[in-house]
Amino acid sequence: MAHSIAKYEGWSREDLISRLAQLERASGRRTDLTEHKLGDGSKPFDASTYPRRKIALKFTYHGAHYSGLEYQALPSRLPTVEGMLFDALVRCRLVDPAGGFQACGWEKCGRTDKGVSAAAQVVSLWVRSALGGVQRKEGPGEGATPVEVEPADTTDGDGPGLEGGLAMMGDWDEPPTNAALEKPAETTTEIPYVFRINRVLPPTIRILAWSPVADDFSARFSCRWRHYRYFFSPCGLDLSAMQDAASRLVGEHDFRNLCKVDPTKQLTSFTRRILSATIDPVEDNPHLYVLNLRGTAFLYNQVRHIMAVLFLVGTKLEKPSVVDALMNVDADNPHPPSREGEPAPAVVSCKPLYEMADPLPLVLWDTGYDEGAVSWRADHDTEAGVTSEKTLSNNVYSTMQTLLERSEIHTALDAHFLRAAAKHHAPPPRYFPIGGESAEPLRKDSVLAVPTGGGMYRRSAEYTPLLQRGRTDSVEAINERWKLGQGARRLERKAAAAAAAAGADS
């Protein structure tokens, strides 16, 4: 029993609450994300009695605390960002809890996986509005049943929690009960969406701004470009070689060898357009560099695969031209060399086996929409625009400044711990970049620590070049295997459920 309790000691209040909610769902006491039990004496929230409008929300989140952005039907050790955000919207009586994601027309700009963060994620949806005489009363999905969500990857992973009083930030007030909500009246003052949602969210998720949008606006399909950033230490890396390799990504290419194939999507085209790819110093941190990658759309785990290859190029284990080979997938239409004096790249029709980069340093940095499509705004903490002591803790800037200060203290502590260790332990030899001025020559007994990002390394006594490694199956084979296996079983379950529903209606 003591061991079972000890493993939760480092968890934050919000993580513990989320875990309890997940256990309730698993045991059948709460079987769907959209079932919310209101307090004693409160009336059920009837969304149909209030006007609605379509808006976009821009928000940030620290991915280390979550099992990815996308809501998962099966319980996982850490909550998902979508799950936390939707629960907050329900608690604020902004969406219909019975209809789930489908009833509010929920769409997200880009999916981020477990451990990946975002500085400018966007979702679009229909929410309750205070502008009763101006806005539409109905949106798409009225009376819809909860959307079916396919189970996502629930592999557990460690993520630091928030300790002390910080975990309480945003919990000054409980949201009003349905009985306390006034019926919509003619008004020119909209609901303070940013303030209201943030006060029930954990501090690692912050709504930055909201925007009114057109009825046909889609956070996903209206997005014109997405900008990802991957932060890394330049120690032991040839940055000029990495820039050479990154620049070859620009343009329209087939990236099937630089992503993870998701057979549930049954994709047959892996062509994507990269608008820019640069290796740059981080503005306010001279000890870090960043890959700035901007494109119109991205494949599953594409950025992490690209960064893994750039690390191999930076260590001089691979040449920059390996990027050309990985994008040269069609033997019937081989690519010419992209640099004068280089040989024609090899044709690589199936992805070589390699480990993608760590998720921690990856951030969805920014997203772009047509001019006039969005008009971002942030509401005041109070109607008078005066910040009271009570609302100060919910101020977005103050909350994020607190997180930054605590992170800086953790960094300072870790640096002191490292200096203390250096008194008794010598640092390991550095072999990268191979042939570099400060690198030691390789020996037969050398153990290579190849960086994979986020301070993580893959250690090996030997290195096998990428193009000499084993290969995965072809995309066609992966898709067909899933379609005949899990895909067929999924169709059978859906057909059985449809037949049961039809029988119940007859």
What is the H or E stretch that residue 253 is in? strand 251-254
Pairing of strands 362-369, 117-128: parallel
Question: What is the rounded distance in angstroms from the CA atom of residue 289 to the CA atom of residue 166?
Answer: 30
Q: Which candidate in 15, 87, 113, 244 is catalytic?
A: 113
Residue 403: name the closest of 194, 165, 173, 196 by CA.
165
Check: CB of residue 393 under 8 Å from CB of residue 172: yes
Q: Could you tell me which of 270, 365, 258 has the C-alpha nearest to residue 305?
A: 258
C-alpha distances out from residue 119 to 56, 273, 366, 416, 433, Å: 15, 22, 7, 30, 32
Length of the chain: 506
Judged by phi (left if over 0) then psi (alpha if -120 to 50, else beta), residue 158 lies in beta
Residue with tokens 């970049």: 433
The string of DSSP codes covering 354-401 is -PPPPSTTEEEEEEEE-TTT---B---SSTTS---HHHHTT-HHHHHH
Spatial separation of the C-alpha atoms in residues 427 and 339, rounded to whole Å: 39
Q: Helices (DSSP H) in 28-165: which residue ranges? A: 81-91, 100-103
**Residue 113 designated active-site:** yes
Q: Any idea which residue has 């390799």 for tokens?
A: 245
Contact 381, 395 (CB under 8 A): yes
Helix ranges, 230-315 (H): 239-247, 302-314
User: Which whole-number Å values give the CA distances from 18 to 14, 23, 138, in the listed order?
Assistant: 6, 9, 32
Q: Which residues form the catalytic set? A: 113
